[in-house]
Structure 1
Amino acid sequence: MAEKQPTIKEIAKRLNISISTVSRALHNHPSIGLKTKTLVQQLAQKLDYEPNQMAISLQQRKTFTLGVILPGLSESFFSSAISGIEEVANMNGYTVLMGQSHDDIEREKQLMETMKKHRVDGLIISITKNTKTFEHFEFFKKANIPVVFFDRIPDMNDINYVACNILSGTIKAISYLLKARHRVIGMINGPKTLVATAERRDGYMQAMQKNRLKFDPSLVFNCDLSKESVYEATQKLLSHSRKPTAIVTFNDYVAMDAMHYATQQNICVNKDLLFVSYVNLPMLPHLKFRPIASVEQYPFKQGQKAAQMLVELLQNKIENTERQMHYKIIIDSDLVIHA
């Protein structure tokens, strides 16, 4: 027969004090004196007492679980971000329930349902590249369950989010190329559904205007981030009447596909045609072909900040009261030169 686990009631009986006093002492409540607190905690340790998490959850109406939905852990960006999220969650006594949408909007919706069923206290999410409508977030809003978006931010009002300053990063990237005397610069941008796509384009425009140069929209092509669409965008740029001497790509993965296509066309990468990208993947130093520069987006830090924001929202949440204030954190980006 399994040995019965010690309870708060047993500790209270042995020390001849109330159950509520034991509970407060175990939680270091300031109303409990040091002597009583020490006696309770020492006996609890001696008996190998472990708190009943289910009872605590019922009492506090919390599951101490944070839901996290990411496009996919195969990208080192998101695996780094989840490490930052888990670090903060563990420090604050939360467990992470994670799901991968694989950039499938229907799977994203299913994962939202799963998070609801598991009664997560709050949600951190980076939306899919195909997310165009946001009705599936309404339940969380109505139920007063805080949601924090990061990196891939939806075009919505009144949301909490953490993001990198893509606009300033793009200005740095384009300015770097202009300083190197490149005047015809192509851009392989991302899906139009992503806010970051517009930010890249805006940064490109602002950098050109800042240097008193005309922005040519025909040198900007969108892709859905697949290899096929990147190849198509690269082919269009290479056959453009104003053939670019440098290309800025949506991220390092897009850059690698574009560089591969360029080499197939007998183009000497980063000599005949330069590439600048975003993310700054850890694998870049080990690649034969890599962008000459990358905009660092600090995924680990984004994950940390998103989790810290969510924990703070949960700690400050008032039951049955709709929060009027929303929070946003913009992390500065940096241009990392690889050449």
Structure 2
Amino acid sequence: MKETITIKEIARRLRISPSTVSRALQDNPRISQPTREAVRALAGELKYFPSTTARNLRSGKTGVFAMVLPEIRENFFSEVVNGVEELAFSHQYTVALYQSHDLFEREKQILAVLASNRVDGIMLSVAKESQQFQHVQDLIDRGIPVVLFDRIPPKIEAHQVGCDIEKGAYDATKWLANRGFRRIALLNGPHPLVASEDRYRGYIKALVEEQLPVENALIKRVDLTTEDITEKMTQLLLSANRPDAVLAFNDYVALDAMQICRRQGLRINEDISFVSFANLPLNTYLEHPPLASVEQHPYQIGLKAAEILLSITDPKTDDPDNGFQRVMLEPELIIRKG
């Protein structure tokens, strides 16, 4: 095993002090240009890499941001991760990923581990099962930097980054109404999710403005499993006055619901039409995708969440107001041809 090259070894070979080597590697102007060049040249020749452990001990930081999210396999969350990594890596931070799999107890365990094993900050999107959030408040009370994103629990004062879901649902429902659809169903998510309530409010607001009936029979909540989506979509199709359009919680819900419609012999976007959230790339490969999708800008959400954490942990970009930041991105209704 090759010997690890240290600053002391570089200093010994160049017959200068270790502190001079350290400053030269940081391009400190107090060190002469020839010395800086000599240090960098020898460091490259010896394949020297700075010790992040030593650097972190000096700074009191770990150089690690943690992300806790429901499912990395979901395209939305993988795009959020891409946004976080883009900014975090450029500032020499490592991103550690944890999945709650939408389980409350697992989320609590992960956050407890992160609280005891120091990280410089935590980005959290709460699990579907989570209805109590004292475990999140405890982190904030301990002074651990936390940024809540996308699924943001209510009544918690913390840094937040998301998309205006209520407006997205409102815009999507208005668009359907303006295209002549009169019986617009809502295939919504489960009760605990704040995002479900945001969709509901936007949907209702648009129906009222368009003077369309608000019918409980047209509003179904699903637990986001294929089995439950199948059951609830079948109920909608078997109702006395079948809907002519459906606003779905996201593209995954829409795709499962559309499959049920096909099995019933219905033509998608002719006999019944769909609008959804997420704007998944796979929609471009479908012969009959949803007529439109609400783009929630997950990459930008991740980028902004990382930016906020950096502003808290990096004194160079410290927020002078020292208050909680709340960022809500504008949704965009992506309309497809057809």
- Provide the rounded CA distance (Å) in 1 between the counterparts of 2:327 and 2:213: 32
Which residue of 2 is the match for residue 200 of structure 1?
199
Instruction: Tell me the CA shift for residue 317 of structure 1.
Output: 9.6
Q: Does 1:119 align with 2:118?
A: yes
Residue 162 of structure 2 aligns to a residue in which SS? strand
Q: Secondary structure at the match of 1:130?
A: coil
| Structure 1 residue aligned with 2:54 | 55
Determine if contact 1:256/1:289 at 8 Å carries over to the other structure: no
The aligned counterpart of 1:333 is: 331
Q: 1:276 touches 1:293 (CA, 8 Å); kept in 2?
A: yes
Give me the whole-angstrom Cα distance separating, in 1, the residues matched to 2:147 and 2:280.
24
The residue number in structure 2 matching 1:131 is: 130
Instruction: Report the alpha carbon displacement of residue 90 of structure 1 after superposing the two structures with TM.
Output: 1.3
- Aligned equivalent of 1:159: 158
Query: d(CA) in 1 for partners of 2:287 and 2:234?
Result: 21
Instruction: State whether residues 310 and 317 of structure 2, in contact with CA within 8 Å, keep that contact through their aligned partners in structure 1.
Output: no
Fraction of identical pairs, as percent: 39
For 2:184 and 2:291, the matched residues in 1 are separated by 14
Query: In the alignment, residue 10 of structure 1 is paired with which amino acid?
Result: E
Find the counterpart in structure 2 of residue 311 from structure 1: 310
CA shift, 1:211, in A, is 2.9
- The residue aligned with 1:8 is 7
Q: What secondary structure sits across from 1:283 in the alignment?
A: helix
Once the two structures are superposed, the pairs formed by residues 275-314 of structure 1 within 5 Å of their partners are 275-314=274-313
Give the match for residue 41 of structure 1: 40
Q: Residue 5 of structure 1 aligns to a residue in which SS?
A: coil
Query: What is the aligned partner in structure 2 of residue 27 from structure 1?
Result: 26
The correspondence of residues 229-248 of structure 1 with structure 2, limited to 5 A, is 229-248=228-247
Q: Tell me the residue number matched to 2:67.
A: 68
1:155-186: per-residue Cα shift (whole Å, max 9, x none)? 13211121112122112211111111112111
Gaps of at least 5 residues in structure 1 are none
User: CA contact under 8 A between 1:187 and 1:247: conserved in structure 2?
Assistant: yes
Mapped partners of 1:307, 1:254: distance in 2: 29
Q: 1:214, CA displacement in angstroms?
A: 4.6
Cα distance change of structure 1 residues 290 and 175 upon mapping to structure 2, 3 Å threshold: same
Q: 1:30 to 1:167 in 2, by over 3 A?
A: farther
SS of residue paired to 1:123: strand
Relative to structure 1, the CA distance from residue 33 to residue 215 in structure 2 (aligned partners, 3 Å threshold; closer, same or farther) is farther
* TM-score normalised over the length of structure 1: 0.90
Q: Secondary structure of 2:314's match? A: helix
CA RMSD of aligned residues (A): 2.4
C-alpha distance in structure 2 between counterparts of 1:4 and 1:255, whole Å: 57
Paired amino acid for 1:183: R
CA separation in 1, counterparts of 2:124 and 2:219? 28
Equivalent residue letter for 2:52 = Q
- Taking the aligned partners of 2:156 and 2:113, their CA distance within structure 1 comes to 25
Give the AA of the match of 1:240: S
Counterpart residue identity of residue 167, structure 1: E
How far apart, in 2, do the equivalents of 1:42 and 1:116 lie?
Answer: 41
1: CA distance, partners of 2:248 / 2:316: 41
How many aligned positions are there? 335
Paired residue secondary structure (1:73) = coil
Q: Secondary structure at the match of 2:174?
A: helix
Q: Secondary structure at the match of 1:20?
A: helix
The answer as to whether partners of 2:140 and 2:158 remain within 8 angstroms in 1 is: no
Tell me if structure 2 keeps the 8 A contact 1:69–1:98: yes
Letter of the aligned partner of 1:284 in structure 2? N
Paired position in structure 2 for 1:223: 222
Q: Structure 2: give runs of 5+ residues left out of the alignment.
A: none
Deviation larger for 258-267 or 186-195: 258-267
| Distance change in 2, residues 1:278/1:223 (3 Å) | same
Give, in whole Å, the separation in 2 of the partners of 1:257 and 1:332: 27
CA distance in structure 1 between the aligned counterparts of 2:105 and 2:175, rounded to whole angstroms: 40
CA gap of 1:37–1:192, structure 2 versus 1, over 3 A, is: same
Output one character per residue of 1:12-54: Cα deviation in whole Å (capped at 9) or x when no partner: 3444544333323322345545444334333322332221221
Q: CA deviation at 1:89?
A: 1.8
1:147 maps to 2:146: yes
Distance 1:36 1:145, change over 3 A: farther
Would the aligned equivalents of 1:85 and 1:303 in 2 still touch at CA under 8 Å?
yes
Q: 1:34 to 1:137 in 2, by over 3 A?
A: farther
Aligned to 2:170: 171
Q: In the alignment, is the contact (CA less than 8 A) between 1:259 and 1:289 conserved in 2?
A: no
Aligned pairs for 1:259-278 (under 5 A) are: 259-278=258-277
Q: Distance in 1 between matches of 2:171 and 2:135?
A: 36
Cα distance in 2 between the residues matched to 1:213 and 1:29: 68
